[in-house]
Amino acid sequence: MGSCDARHRRVLVLVRHGESRYNAEQIFTGLLDVDLSARGHAQIAAAARLMADAGLRPRLVLTSPLLRAVRTAEGIRAALCPEAPLRESWRLAERDYGCLTGVSKRECRERWGDEAFFTWRRTLEGRPPAATAAQRASWRGLDGAGLGPLVPGGSESLADVVERVRPLWGRLLPSLVAGEGPIAVVAHGNSLRALVLLACGLGADEVERLNIPAAQPLVLEFDGRGEPLERVGHYLDPRTAEVEAGRVADEGGT
């Protein structure tokens, strides 16, 4: 594994997985275990190049157990740090979208209206209704493997995701303060929003506006007390990240 200079040892690199097949079709994926699209596979190599150019070769890679995140994490690890441990955590799984799981964003707006769409999609406390038994029976690509105590279809708010991510952040921060980074976390739009909220102390209005684009490495750096050096970190390719975040916002947000 390549060396990393001292200034990177309190660095956390967040990477949302590459585009999935359902992302491409604008379908609420949640805990459905769908694979990457062709574009998503290509995005892994681009993310790894950005990290390599910045000298960010992780000493540890953490990932969600869902396939789209695991494939992204494996690709980044293979390109940058093949000797680094790769660990999965159910706490990093995507948010459970309840009755929205497997539903297109357009259908959601048509059935429930723009206000419900915004509340369920973007706000900290908004929680979609639970899935019905018929919906659960229709799902494909969902066996619950690696999801710990999560029961797919029960539904979560972003605040719920924050609480399940909190213990993981509590274990990560001391490692970063001790200079054991860089650490890479490969996960999903909502579990990464939750992690940024915890790491940077974001308020509800700030996290509501936060859109994290696919495969754009977001760098959070900390001082010796564990305080972030920037409000929400910085992207390694800020111009592309801004464009892609705008696309996410146009679709209704992460």
Task: List residues with catalytic annotation.
Answer: 17, 94
Strand duo 11-16 + 218-221: pairing? antiparallel
Backbone angles phi, psi at 225, to 5 degrees: -100, 0
- The dihedral sign for the CA sequence 91, 93, 99, 105: positive
Q: Give the number of other Cβ atoms within 10 Å of residue 110's Cβ.
A: 10
**DSSP SS3 for 29:** coil
With a CB cutoff of 8 Å and minimum separation 6, the contacts of 242 are 235
**Residue 91 has what DSSP assignment?**
G
Q: How far apart are CA 216 and CA 15, in angstroms?
A: 6
Helix and strand counts by DSSP (H, E) for the chain: 9, 6
